Structure 1
Amino acid sequence: WISKFGDKKAIFRSISSPTSPSLVESLLGKKCRVIRGFVCENSEELVSAFEELGLHDGETAVIRPVDSVDGRASKIVRSIEEVRLYDFADGTVVLRENVQLDKAPDGLPITTSVAYMKGEIFGQ
């Protein structure tokens, strides 16, 4: 997967070209909603991404390293100042909207994913 499509950078747009669709958006079109977010390399880009998402102080966003798989390095930010102070200790990150997941009748969150197997992305 990583050698062919890369890491989370394939899912999210780059803040350096915010109107260009991500690889996943290009492949899936309108079939699946992709969480809005942007790949950021530095503090200036992170601030731009917060603003591009239309967020204001008090509204939450998530900063997550592009190579994170378990969410432990994720950080919820609630202000432009928190965004400015982020230290990029884990390298390139995604700043994305913080979404409330739908829940199944048993209370467990319902999430969507893109499945990849033997060189193909399912759902095409």
Structure 2
Amino acid sequence: MNSSSSQIDVTLTVKDSLLGDGNTGGGRYNYTFDPDLIHVTEHDTEIVYRLAKEDQPRFRIVNLYSTDTRDQLDELEIREDGAELKIVHRNTYQQLTVVSLLVHDTKHDHPVNCDPQVTNDPPPVGP
């Protein structure tokens, strides 16, 4: 998804994997992001990760970890009692940023690691 404004909204859905073949938590859970690729093209873009409505009673976003070594991610804020996390992408250097959202399953008191793809191209973006 290319950003055309200064905010990118991303929905995170987390589900139990009844067969134990999930993509995180030792196979216990499946997660998806919508959009699945975040591509930042503007300076100071807010990225807002939001749990899907049906997941909000059970799960909480508790932190974000990244490989950002050039101070591109800033102003992390957990909002709405863990239903969403906002971070600002400064977008001054082109890089692939590995990001991991730590989500807490309140029903089973278990951490869940969810890792979206984040890429960026600082302006001006060429053809």
Shorter-chain TM-score: which interval?
A: under 0.3
Normalised TM-score (structure 1): 0.28
Higher helix share: 1
Comparing both structures, which one devotes a greater share of its residues to strand?
2
